Amino acid sequence: TFRIYFPRTEAALSAPSTAPTRKEGSERLLLVEDDRAVRELVGRIFRDRGYQVTVTADAGEALRAFAAAPDEIDMGMNGRELVQALHQIRPGVKALFISGYTEDEIVRRGLHDAGIAFLHKPFTADVLVDNVRSLLDAKPVTA
């Protein structure tokens, strides 16, 4: 047996606060993910939030897609060498690294530049979209 005690009050009940606003966008994203299931899920998450997504399985495929229309992609995701190649085509394109490795391990292996955003797996759809929205909304860094 257990008992729960609530404080007595005469105050009127109020409706629960509204859920956080879902962040959405219309920008075009380049998603690079070697795991098909993750690739499909993340692509669907962004499409459901209004983004246009070019989904690719590897860096070569992503680079070809980006080179074909560099001004149509607002953000690329995954791969240090890929991001460096994308910057050769369009300096300043934003990137979000996603990995199951810890951020310390990524930096130790030299796979990540400190100035590039990093998201550690696992994450929720909202956390993923919030990170992307924050990067897209950030003012460009001038050298």
Q: Would you state the pLDDT for residue 1? A: 85
d(CA 34, CA 131): 21
**Global pTM?**
0.70
Region of residue 52 (left: phi > 0; alpha: psi -120 to 50; beta: else): beta
Eight-class DSSP state of 73: -
In the predicted structure, residue 65 carries a pLDDT above the cut 80: yes
d(CA 119, CA 98): 5
pLDDT band at 83 (very low <50, low <70, confident <90, very high): confident
Dihedral sign of CA atoms 97, 103, 105, 109 in order: positive
Highest mean pLDDT: which of 8-12, 68-72, 123-127?
123-127
Eight-class DSSP state of 50: T
Eight-class DSSP state of 27: -
Q: Which of 19-23, 28-32, 60-64, 92-96 has the lowest mean pLDDT?
A: 19-23
In the predicted structure, residue 133 carries a pLDDT above the cut 90: yes
